Structure formats: C-alpha cells, structure tokens
Structure 1
Amino acid sequence: MKKINWLDHIANLLVVILGISIAFYLESYKETDNNRKQERKYLESLVSDLEADIQYLDTLGFRNEQISSALVKLCDASLGRPYESDTALMNYMFAIQYNPPFTPQRTTYETLKASGKMDLIGSFEIRNEIVDLYEQYYRATGEYDASINQHLRDFIKPYYMKNIKFNSGQSINPDFLFKNEFRNMIFGYRYVFIAKDNFYDEVNSRAESVKKQLEEYIETM
C-alpha cells in the first residue's frame, strides 16, 4: 500500500486556500476602491450642484427683496400713505407680477436615488443631511412658489385686468388702491411672500451647511 504524503497534501490545500483567499481579497479591494472612487465622484458633483444652487439663491434673494419692497409700498399706499410718483406706483404693480421660482440642480441627487447608489455615501450622517436638504427643504420651496403663483394667477392678474385704468403710458388711476378687495389681496400676498423669502434664506443657509460638510468629508477620503 502506497504511503500517503499527508504533509504534501496539506501544504497543497493550504496553497489553494491561500490563493482563493488572496483572489477574494483582491476582488474585494478592487470593488471597495471602485466604490470609493464613485462615492468621491458623486460627492464632488453634489458640491458643484450645491454651489450653483447657492449662487442662484443669492440672485433670487436680491429679486425677492425688490418684490417685498414693492409689496410694502403698495400696502402702505392702500392705507393712504404717500408714494413717490405715478411711475413708481406702476413699477410696484409690475414688480409683483412675476415670482421667480427656485429650480435646484437635482441631476446628481436624482441619479443617486434612481440607481439605488445612495449607500455609496459611507457616512450615514452626511447621507441623511443630503436627503433632508433635497426632500424637505428643496421640496418646500416648490410648494411656496406654487402657492404664490396660484395667488398671482387667481387673484392679482385678474384683478389688474378688471380694475387698473391707465391714464397714459406712465400714469394710472389710483382709485383701486383704496378698495377693500385690493387691500385684502395685497396684504395676503405680502405676508405669504415674506414667509417664502424668509424660508429661502433658511434654505440657502442649509445648502451652504451641507456643502461645507461634503467638502470636509471629501478631504478625509
């Protein structure tokens, strides 16, 4: 009977096991490295998107200040307080007719969500901050804009068409200012718009905070 060299068999088995383990390790390392690179790519893209959003919100902030100022002037005028001129009154009326909406950059976020790759972002806290910004704050800006645009469509513009009388190219009959319907309409618009403007400031601060957290997280990768 041939003697079995168990030591040789064990050595070969160990070599096979070691080879398989190394192969698994290398494959796992490669996958982890690819995931890390993808994570960094998505995070850098999100930072770029947030930078564009913040700049856009800053621009909208200036426009919102103009609308808020015009609304205050119209409310004051409806209470009998003096306004600068007929031309200024017309400018106030025209200024409040367009509510520029906030349209955030959502491509990177939607790609992450739709592809199921949100878990690529290793930090649960960072992932939660991103989702909260897009699903809560950004969504709420759309609801504010929709509410104000509905008010414009249903009340402001129809009222203008029926009640505003132009005396000339730069003059209008101000009688409409003192009608109760106009006062209710313009004061309601004013307070909703101020609430929206304040919320936009909060969204801007939130976007800046998330962007800073992402940049700090990327530096640790």
Structure 2
Amino acid sequence: MKKINWLDHIANLLVVILGISIAFYLESYKEEESNRTQERKYIASLIKDLDTDIQALDTLHSINESISEALVTLSNASLGRSYGSDTALMNYMFRIQYNPPFSPQRTTYESLKASGKMDLIGSFELRNDVVDLYEQFYRGTNEFDASLNEHIRDFIRPFNIENVRFSSGQSISPDFLKKNEFRNMIFGYRYLFIAKDNFYVSVKERAEIVKGKLEEYLREE
C-alpha cells in the first residue's frame, strides 16, 4: 500500500486556498477602487451642479427683488399711496406677470438615483443631506412656482387683459387700482411671492452647506 504524503497534500491545499484568497482579495480591492473612483466622479459632478444652482439662485434673487418691489409699490398704490408716473405703473403691472422658475441641475442626482448607486457616497450623513436637498428643498421650489404660476394664470393676466393697455402705456380703467378685486389679488400675490423668495434664499443656503460638505469629503478621500 502506497504511503500518502499528507504533508504534501496539505501544503498543496494551503496553496490553493491561499491562491483563491488572494484572487478574492484582488477582485475585492479592484471593485473597491472602482467604486471609489466612481464616488469621486459623482461627487465632483454634484459639486459642479450645485455651484451652477447657487449661481442661478443668486440671479433669481436679483430678479425676484425687482418683482417684489413692483408688488410692494402696487399694493401700496391700492391703498392710495404714490406710485409715480403712469409709465412706471404700467411697468410694474407688466413686471408682475413674470415668475422666474428655479430649474436645478438634476442630471447627476437622477443618474445616481435611477442606477441605484446612491450608496456609492460612503458617508450616510452626507448621502442623506444630498437626498434632503433634492427631494425636499428643490421640490419645495417647484411647489412655490406652481402656486405662483396658477395665481398669475387665474388672476393677474385676466385682470391685466381687462384693465390695462400695455401698448399705449395707459390703463383702460383709471380707477382699477381702487378695485377691491385688484387689492385682494395684489396683496395675495405679494405675500406669496415674498414667501417664495425667502424660501429660495434658504434653498441657496442649504445648497451651499451641502456643496461645502461634499468638497470637504472629497478632500478627505
């Protein structure tokens, strides 16, 4: 009976096990490095998107201030206060027909969401911050814009069509400022628009915070 060299068999088995372990380790390391590379690319892209959003919110704030000025002047005029010339009045009436929307850059976020790769962002807290910004704050801007657009569609434009002649710079009815319909319409719009602008300011602040956290996380990687 041939003697079995158990030591040799055990050595060969250990070599096989070691080889398999190394192969698994290398594959795991390769996958981890690939995920880390993807994570850095996604985060860098999110930072770029947020930077664009922050600049857009700055621009919108400047435009919103101009519209808010028109709304304050018109609401005060409905109470009998001075509004300047008829040309200025028509300019204010024309200005309040415009509600500039916020259209955030969502491509990177939606790509992460649709591909199920949100977990690539290793920090649970940071991942939640990103989701909260897009799903809560950015969604809130859409709701404000929708409400204001409805107000413009249902009240502002129909009222202007009936009472204002923009082509000549003269009002069809010189007393339209004194109408209760106008007063209710303009005050309701004023407070809704100012609430929207204030919310936009908070959205910008939130976007800056998330962008800063993403940049810090990227530096630490």
Shorter-chain TM-score: which interval?
Answer: over 0.9
Distance in structure 1 (CA, Å) of the matches to 2:170 and 2:164 = 11
Distance in structure 2 (CA, Å) of the matches to 1:122 and 1:56 = 29
Aligned residue in 2 for 1:126: 126
| Deviation of the 1:96 alpha carbon | 0.6
Output aligned runs, 1:153-164, within 5 Å. Answer: 153-164=153-164
Aligned residue in 2 for 1:170: 169
C-alpha distance after superposition, 1:119-148 (max 9, x if no partner): 111000000000000000000100000000
Aligned residue in 2 for 1:136: 136
Q: 1:87 to 1:218 in 2, by over 3 A?
A: same
1:42 aligns with 2:42: yes
| Deviation of the 1:163 alpha carbon | 1.9
Aligned residue in 1 for 2:28: 28
Aligned residue in 2 for 1:195: 195
Equivalent position amino acid for 1:113 in 2: K
Q: Runs in 1 of length 4+ with deviation above 3 angstroms?
A: none
| Deviation of the 1:165 alpha carbon | 4.8
Aligned residue in 1 for 2:88: 88
Aligned residue in 2 for 1:57: 57
Distance in structure 2 (CA, Å) of the matches to 1:23 and 1:170 = 80
| Deviation of the 1:60 alpha carbon | 0.2
Equivalent position amino acid for 2:108 in 1: T
Distance in structure 2 (CA, Å) of the matches to 1:207 and 1:30 = 33
C-alpha distance after superposition, 1:75-133 (max 9, x if no partner): 11111001121111111101110101000000000000000000111000000000000
Aligned residue in 1 for 2:181: 181
Distance in structure 1 (CA, Å) of the matches to 2:162 and 2:87 = 20
Equivalent position amino acid for 1:198 in 2: N
Distance in structure 2 (CA, Å) of the matches to 1:71 and 1:208 = 29
Please give the root-mean-square deviation of Cα atoms over the aligned residues, in Å: 1.0
Identity of matched residues, %: 73
SS of equivalent residue, structure 1 residue 174: coil
Q: Are the equivalent residues in 1 in contact too, given 2:52–2:105 (CA < 8 A)?
A: yes
| Deviation of the 1:170 alpha carbon | 3.0
Distance in structure 1 (CA, Å) of the matches to 2:23 and 2:219 = 31
| Deviation of the 1:164 alpha carbon | 2.2
C-alpha distance after superposition, 1:40-78 (max 9, x if no partner): 100000000000000000000000000000000001111
> For this pair of structures, how many residues does the alignment match?
220
Aligned residue in 1 for 2:212: 212
C-alpha distance after superposition, 1:158-214 (max 9, x if no partner): 011112256x72333531000000000000000000100000000000000000000
SS of equivalent residue, structure 2 residue 175: helix
Deviation larger for 156-165 or 203-212: 156-165
Q: Structure 2 unaligned segments of length 5 or more: list them.
A: none
Distance in structure 2 (CA, Å) of the matches to 1:107 and 1:115 = 12
Distance in structure 2 (CA, Å) of the matches to 1:216 and 1:149 = 38
Deviation larger for 172-181 or 7-16: 172-181
Aligned residue in 2 for 1:14: 14
Q: TM-score, normalised by structure 1?
A: 0.97
Q: Structure 1 unaligned segments of length 5 or more: list them.
A: none
Distance in structure 2 (CA, Å) of the matches to 1:6 and 1:100 = 81
